Amino acid sequence: MKNIVILISGGGSNMAAIVKAAESERWAARLDARVAAVISNKPDAGGLAIAREHGIATAVVSHRDFASREEFDAALAREIDAHAPTLVVLAGFMRILTPGFVTHYAGRLLNIHPSLLPAFPGLDTHRRAIEAGCRIAGVTVHEVTVELDHGPILAQAAVPVLQGDTPQTLAARVLAQEHRVYPRAVADWLQRVETN
Ligand code: GAR
């Protein structure tokens, strides 16, 4: 069985989209894959309750409990590795990861970023896209490499930037595409790998 571990920091709507796709598309039977755990760095992340409602194991590894990024990442990796992951999925996980962590999961760590990378890595993507006068914005799913918001692109979707858009209205339009693109990219990735 291919275990997917999803990392979140907030509402977890992308995580929920992946969990729902796994259920409705019967990933266990078709891809020999399941969402084994959802882990948050924030105890109050709304997505934790959603995961529990779907019978998925949850855990919190709070970055506030650790003195350094290295110590936090080591504790996070221990929690992830307890679930023997084939794939680790960052879904709105808002922590910069250390090179050691990224290297540990090289080739099996995916991220979703709310811009058309390589445009607008980092934070505040929707405001920056509007201020730059972009006519198109979007979302990117990519493999995580040591450089933030870089790494091989697996999937993208574009949306128009409309007259009068605010960062919030644009974010909502992009998020709808995120929920479509991320489950698809994860399923495609799982289909490509050999079973553990
Ligand atoms: C999503 O828009 C995701 O692309 C973004 O955070 C949001 C999380 O929403 N991720 C990043 O900005 C990563 N740098 P969700 O918790 O509802 O999935």
17-32 pLDDT per residue, tens: 999 999 999 999 999 9
Distances (CA, A) of 147 to 8, 87, 102: 20, 19, 10
Task: Assess whether pLDDT exceeds 70 at residue 195.
Answer: no
Question: Which CATH number belongs to the domain containing residue 163 in this structure?
Answer: 3.40.50.170
Q: How far is the CA of 112 from the centre of ligand 1 (A)?
A: 7
d(C-alpha 130, C-alpha 133), whole Å: 5
pTM of full prediction above 0.85: yes
Structure tokens at 49: 């309750």
Q: In what order do the strands lie in the sheet with 136-143?
A: 57-60, 33-40, 2-8, 85-90, 109-113, 136-143, 153-160
Number of domains within the chain: 1
pLDDT at 94: 96
For ligand 1, the distance from its centroid to the CA atom of residue 91, given in whole angstroms, is 6
Name the residue with the closest Cα to ligand 1, atom 9: 92
| Long-range contacts of the stretch 56-64 (C-beta < 8 A, 24+) | 56/19, 57/83, 63/95
Active site residue 126: no
Residue 196: pLDDT band (50, 70, 90) is: very low
Per-residue model confidence (pLDDT) at position 76 = 98
Nearest CA to ligand 1 atom 10: 92
Range of the domain at 29: 2-195
What is each CA distance from 8 to 34, 88, 154, 166, 192, in whole angstroms?
A: 17, 11, 20, 25, 24
